[in-house]
Chains A and B, each alone.
Chain A
Amino acid sequence: MKIKQIINELALEVIVPPRGDYEVQSGYTGDLLSQVVARADRDFIWITIQNHLNVIAVACLLNLAGVILAEGIEPIPEAVEKAREEGVCLLSSPEGSFELGGKLYQLFNVEVESCYT
């Protein structure tokens, strides 16, 4: 699934755009940073309600495909700046992590099914 397709289908607000239309492997939802470090991986998209610089650091370090801030959270300006600097795609949505995760999961499943039909 391409990052731009995800942005379109989930109607995400783009705060820092992705560098290109790359493939997103999977996703992870979580607000405990070390848990995310343990579970998320390269090219995953991450849904969270955390709003500080370390979110960008984690996304950058793990080569995540992007971060979706849920619940309409407006990122602090320092985080936006840092995301821009490090090339981390930063997105937001008024919806909650539950809804976003559900929709994303659905999207990935449809894609998998269409490979077999």
Chain B
Amino acid sequence: MNNHEVGSLQEKLLVKDMMTCQVVTVPHDLTMEQVKALLGDMAITGAPVVDDKGRICGIVSMFDVLKALEENLLSLPVAGRMSTPVIVTTPDSTVAEAIALFRQHRFNRLPVVDGERVVGMLTPGDIVRKLANVLKLDLVEEAAGPQENRTILQWAEEFPVAAGEFGQAGEVSIAIKKKLQEAGLSPLVIKKAVIAAYEAEMNMVIHSHGGAFEVRMTPEGVLMTARDQGPGIEDVAKAMEEGFSTAPQNIRRMGFGAGMGLPNIKRSVDSLEITSRIGQGTEVKMVIHFQDGGLNENKTDHQ
């Protein structure tokens, strides 16, 4: 599944397909004390507030409760402490539209309203779970806490790499870049991963008899392994030196053979292990650990 397909999926799937229908609403005349008890009892972190006629008039979260607690104002009615106006979505909005709202406003729940009546609730977690379901991916939820709605999908994929195929060279790295973007990783993590992937892929194309490139996404980081079928590296320490290259002349004319590939990998990854046996093959294992969850902070690319 490529970027484009996920994009069109977001256009096709509707909010009503993934929202939670059982919504707890808070009557506007409850005190913050009562809201605290209600949220606690229902084990939720926030809820829409409705007026006498059941129309949505605000949204209140545990955060508002904490603030009221701090200021010793738990006895006040929720009407004066809730957030207004509420940003809402509708059952027939597309998921793409909902995602845009989450991006824009940086909140974690979006009431779904039909007219002024609350008919559901949508969180980024709902969207991720539904998409994962549709895409048949395993889902690994990160530990609850301030990042309760941030999730990383766990997956692995293997790409064949053919020797001497300059016509396709870079294809694997470009495919990997797209997968990492889809996964929502931060630009820095993606940059490191694609540099390492590109150099390892080109080394397989130029110096080996071909092999396979495996990418594995875990909640902790990106693991990439390039395995080829030989001829192997005689002296790995020497190969790691900047400027060392055995690239033949015709390849150097194309701009390869600076002897910078392995050093570039070394700089980009947190851990690099090269195992090589002459006549058997080389395995290059690269790991990039996530800091801060490794997820994107909303940066867009012009490509």
Contact = CB atoms under 8 A, between A and B. Distances in A.
Does B associate with A?
A: yes
Given A54-B170, A61-B170, A86-B303, A33 B177 contact: no
Nearest to B173: A61
A80 to B, nearest CB: 14
B198 A61 contact: yes
Interface string B45-72: 0000000000000000000000000000
**Ranked 6 nearest A-B pairs via Cβ:** A57-B170, A34-B260, A32-B258, A87-B303, A33-B255, A61-B194
A22 interface: yes
B174 A18 contact: no
B260 A37 contact: yes
Contacts of B173: 57, 61
Interface centre among B166, B171, B263, B301 (most CB of A within 10 A): B301
A88 to B, nearest CB: 7
15 contacts: A33-B202, A34-B199, A34-B260, A37-B195, A38-B260, A38-B264, A50-B255, A53-B167, A56-B170, A60-B170, A61-B173, A61-B177, A63-B191, A65-B302, A88-B303
Contacts of A62: 191, 194-195
B170 A58 contact: yes
Interface string B162-182: 000011111101100100000
A63 to B, nearest CB: 6
B190 to A, nearest CB: 9
Contacts of A103: none
B258 A61 contact: no
Given A37-B264, A52-B254, A86-B174, A63 B202 contact: no
Interface of A: 18-20, 22, 31-35, 37-38, 42, 48, 50, 52-54, 56-58, 60-63, 65, 78, 86-88
B256 interface: yes
Interface centre among B168, B199, B260 (most CB of A within 10 A): B260
A87 B300 CA distance: 14
Contacts of A88: 303
A54 B191 CA distance: 17
Interface centre among A18, A20, A31, A54 (most CB of B within 10 A): A54
A54 B202 contact: yes
Nearest to A52: B254
B261 interface: yes
A32 B174 contact: no
